[in-house]
Amino acid sequence: MSRYDALDLAERMALKFEVEEFLHREASLIDERRLDEWLALCADDIHYWMPIRRTTTAKEIANEFTKPGSMAYFDDDKKMLALRIQRLQVGRAWAEDPPSRTRHIVTNVRVLDVNGDEIDVGLNFQLYRTRLDSEEDSWIGRREDRLRRVDGAFKLARRHIYLDQTVILAQNMSNLF
């Protein structure tokens, strides 16, 4: 039983409400392209990571994702996230000029554990993207986020993204998940 499960109903409801409020606000900052504000919500030691998923047999499913330290689609610290955002602001970032239109759908939010100021959250997401006249991409997956309470507000301390696609069926991933 996690520390979250040990809380009473009212405490669980309040905590889950706070978590969801943060996640929804944070997602809307990305969709509204307020990326500097989004970056400000990231903890200085954030690990933003999307491993590579592979099709394996059922017997070898433990090898489905690449491990930390090997190849990944995203393996960013805050500095790298800042570079990604800065890239979009300096011109000649053609994948996003004209800008894509994104919509983050965040759902099935579960508090997995509470550890002092840190709350581990599991959720499902869909990131829908359309661009120009007919480009359309849709990514569905699972995330494991860690929120940390700093001075009474949440910071995003970890985002591990587990996409359901193996071959990425998009010509790039120029957006944040």
Partner 1 sequence: MAATMIASDRRPWVDAERGVVDRRIFSDPDLYRLELERIFARAWNFVCHESQLPEAGSFFVNWIGEDQVIAVRDRTGKINVLLNSCPHRGNTVCRAELGKTSSFFCSYHGWNFDLDGRLIGMPGQDAFYREAIDKSEWGLANAAQVDSYRGFVFASLDPSAPRLHDYLGWVGRLGIDMTALRGDMEVIDGIHKNRLQCNWKLAVDNLFDWYHVKVSHGSAMRIGFVPEDQMAPMDQMVILGEYGHGIGGPGVTVAQQAEFEARMKSGNGTPQWYDEAASQRMSPAMREQLGPVGTRSYGHPNIFPNLWITQFNQICLRIPRGPFQTELWWFTLLPKEMPAEQRRNLIHMTNHVFGPAGLLEQDDGENWSHSTRGAKGAVTRRRPLNYSMGHGHDRVQVDPSGQSRIETVVNEHGQLWTYRSWQDWMQAESWQELIAHHSLPPSERI
Q: Which residues are at the interface with partner 1 (CB under 8 A)?
A: 50-52, 54-57, 60, 63, 66-67, 69-76, 80, 83-84, 86-88, 90-95, 166-174
Please identify, using beta-carbon distances, which residue of 9 and 71 lies nearer to partner 1. Answer: 71
What is the end-to-end Cα distance of the chain in Å, rounded?
30
CA distance 135 to 94: 14
- Residue 154: which of 117, 109, 114 has the closest Cα? 117
Smallest gap from residue 113 Cβ to partner 1 (A): 28
Measured CA distances, 96 to 31, 82, 125, 133, 167 (Å): 13, 16, 22, 14, 22
**Cα gap 111→146, rounded to integer Å:** 10
Kindly state the smallest distance separating residue 87's Cβ from partner 1, in Å: 5
Q: State in angstroms the smallest separation of the CB of 15 from partner 1.
A: 32
Identify which of residues 1 and 58 has a Cβ nearer to partner 1 in the complex: 58
Q: Which is nearer to partner 1, 69 or 152 (CB)?
A: 69
Name the residue nearer to partner 1 (CB basis): 12 or 87: 87
